[in-house]
Amino acid sequence: MHSDAGMGGTSEQVLVERAINGDKAAYELLLEAVVTPATRLSFAMLQDRWEAEDVFQDAALRGWQRLRNLRPGSRFQPWFLGIVANQCREVRRGRWWRIARLPELTGSSVDESSWAEGEDLKRAVNALPDDQRIAILLHFHLDLPISDVATALGLSPAGVKTRINRALKRLRPAMSASEVRAHG
For the chain, the average pLDDT equals 80
**Residues 143-162: pLDDT tens digits?**
889 999 999 999 999 999 99
Q: Is the pLDDT of residue 100 over 90?
A: no
CB 5 within 8 A of CB 148: no
pLDDT > 90 in the chain, percent: 46
CATH class of the region 1-100: mainly alpha
Q: Is the pLDDT of residue 140 over 50?
A: yes
Task: Say what the pLDDT of residue 98 is.
Answer: 47
CB 153 within 8 A of CB 82: yes
Angstrom distance (rounded) from CA 147 to CA 5 = 17
Of 17, 14, 20, 4, nearest to 64 by C-alpha is 20
**Residues 52-64: pLDDT tens digits?**
899 999 999 999 9
Task: Say what the pLDDT of residue 119 is.
Answer: 73
User: What residue spans define the domains of the chain?
Assistant: 1-100, 117-184
CATH class of the region 117-184: mainly alpha
Q: Burial of 136 by CB count in 10 Å (0-12 exposed, 13-18 middle, 19+ buried)?
A: buried
Task: Say what the pLDDT of residue 122 is.
Answer: 78
Residue 142 — pLDDT band, cuts 50, 70, 90? confident
